[in-house]
Structure 1
């Protein structure tokens, strides 16, 4: 009986450990506060946005999250925007990622700051 429970305990502990790691984000990812109002409509930093068809939201454990289940929640995220202006990829940040500051919140900031991919950090000019 206890042999069956051990794999579940190990799997759960690996998910917790994974949640505390810093995931690699693309250099064009911005940080913001996302609130899904009525999918696919949302607000990002208080401004109306729309999620792209095929957009993906990954939770702090890097697992996919259904957008409809997040309606009304304020989530600190990293996100990317496609060429049409729709939000494409969203990552809900874990505590390790939240502590990684500064991170640009606008395209103008990311254009003037320097991104270091190896350490996933930004340097302000």
Structure 2
């Protein structure tokens, strides 16, 4: 019975060609990913729910906050959105205050969602509590 001497390996020129091909494919796909991001502030408007009201939010911890000077618990699924409409991790903004539109979960009274406002959004009239 005859067996193969050793497993087939890529030679150095072939390995270099494959590396170049993968690098080229990665470089060509990157602009498509970047083109999908939509910057806010260039005429794009976020639509807030009718139930959203205006207030000042201070994040005390990842579960506690102050809303217009009153202590409030944040819901387990609480979402805080940046002015660019991306999610903000609560531990990164502890101790900071923001002008926000927010929604309270009706059955528990916990803070469910808040959007940090841009200057243009803050200038638009909205009910406050």
TM-score using structure 1 length: 0.70
Is 1:95 aligned to 2:119, yes or no?
A: yes
Q: 1:72 aligns with which of 95, 108, 116?
A: 95
Q: Which of structures 1 and 2 has the larger relative contact order (alpha carbons within 8 angstroms, sep 6+)?
A: 1
Structure number with higher strand proportion: 1
Q: 1:25 aligns with which of 41, 48, 70?
A: 48
Runs of 5+ unmatched residues, structure 2 = 1-26
How many residues align? The count is 102
Look up the SS of the partner of 2:60 in the other structure.
strand
Q: Hey, what does 1:37 align to over in structure 2?
A: 60
Cα RMSD of the aligned pairs, angstroms, is: 2.4
CA distance in 2, matches of 1:19, 1:73: 22
The structure 1 segments of at least 4 consecutive aligned residues displaced by more than 2 Å after TM superposition are: 19-22
Greater Rg, structure 1 or structure 2?
2
CA distance in 2, matches of 1:86, 1:43: 11
Runs of 5+ unmatched residues, structure 1 = 107-125
